[in-house]
């Protein structure tokens, strides 16, 4: 189940969300999701670990039918107050989703996988309720920021000290373990360090989106592919060869019945035989 945000830990998360780095990710995230998921208006999307509903609002702006789930009652109440009737939001854990099979077209984990104890089980649950694509968005452990966040966690950061950071190859391996050999597409958001802003005149989004495995933020989309495989069981008892077909039996019965009728007619007295 992993970290469940109470009011205090939610405050740390909101503080990070308001940071310049997080805001830069959010500005690029919508374009990254549109590129990888190619959502159509009206499609159903589930945001796992929806928090206070920031990404639900983003999906709603795309014209999607939005739902969210979070293990924190506090977060769910905050999200419901922000979105109201525009979404369905439930309390639940990622490893045991309170939804039916194939209930959604798209499922998203955005900065959620880092805080789960069993990410593989959560991905399998997401694949159960998704019928088109599953999206993963994580901070890259191989980026300069990922290394910095891990160091902060080692020194007691209340938020990132409980997070597990992933790189591109680790996420791909988890997706393959969860779904098999399915198509996976990916992009990254590349952001320059703040100390380089004075050197590079084009600002934080100079690098934009791309395909660097060392990018600041990774986005991956796995396409659900459903296959049916049958096990061939050996037949232990052989069928006996039929002596004749049912059609043949019916034909013989009709023939015998016809012969019997002729015999009965010949045995009738002459006065009772039609003249």
Identify which has the larger pLDDT, 74 or 129: 129
pLDDT at residue 198, rounded to an integer: 46
Average pLDDT over residues 151-158: 64
SS (H, E, C) 33-55: HHHHHCCCCCCEEEEECCCCCHH
- pLDDT tens figures, 3-38: 566 656 556 566 656 666 667 778 889 999 999 999
**pLDDT score of 195:** 45
CA geometry: angle 101, 106, 112, nearest 5 deg: 95
Give residue 262's pLDDT band: very low, low, confident or very high (50, 70, 90): low
| Those residues with Cβ within 8 angstroms of residue 246's Cβ, 6 or more apart along the chain or in another chain | none
Proportion of the chain above pLDDT 90, given as a percent: 50
pTM of the shown model = 0.74
Q: Mean pLDDT of all residues in the chain?
A: 80
Residues 27 and 215: their CA atoms lie apart, in Å, by 15
pLDDT exceeds cutoff 70 at 200? no
| Residue extents of the structural domains in the chain | 7-223
**What pLDDT, on a 0 to 100 scale, did the predictor assign at position 146?**
72
> What's the token pair of residue 5?
């945000």
The architecture that CATH gives domain 7-223 is 3-Layer(aba) Sandwich (3.40)
């Amino acid at each position: 189940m992993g970290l469940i945000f109470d009011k205090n830990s939610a405050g740390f998360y909101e503080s990070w969300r308001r940071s310049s780095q997080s805001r830069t990710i959010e500005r690029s995230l919508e374009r990254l999701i549109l590129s990888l998921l190619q959502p159509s208006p009206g499609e159903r999307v589930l945001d796992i670990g929806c928090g206070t509903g920031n990404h639900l609002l983003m999906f709603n702006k795309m014209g999607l039918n939005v739902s969210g789930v979070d293990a924190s009652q506090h977060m769910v109440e905050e999200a419901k107050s922000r979105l109201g009737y525009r979404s369905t939001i439930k309390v639940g854990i990622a490893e045991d989703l309170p939804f039916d099979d194939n209930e959604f077209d798209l499922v998203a984990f955005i900065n959620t996988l880092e805080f789960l104890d069993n990410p593989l089980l959560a991905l399998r649950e997401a694949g159960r309720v998704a019928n088109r694509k599953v999206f993963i968005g994580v901070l890259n452990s191989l980026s300069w920021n990922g290394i910095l966040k891990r160091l902060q966690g080692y020194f007691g950061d209340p938020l990132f000290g409980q997070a597990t950071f992933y790189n591109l190859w680790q996420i791909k391996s988890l997706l393959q373990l969860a779904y098999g050999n399915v198509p996976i597409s990916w992009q990254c958001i590349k952001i320059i360090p703040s100390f380089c802003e004075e050197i590079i005149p084009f600002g934080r989004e100079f690098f934009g989106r791309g395909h660097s495995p060392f990018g600041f933020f990774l986005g991956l989309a796995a396409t659900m592919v459903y296959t049916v495989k049958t096990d061939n069981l050996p037949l232990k008892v052989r069928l006996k060869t039929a002596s004749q077909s049912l059609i043949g039996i019916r034909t013989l019965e009709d023939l015998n019945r016809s012969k019997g009728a002729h015999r009965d007619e010949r045995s009738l007295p002459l006065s009772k035989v039609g003249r």
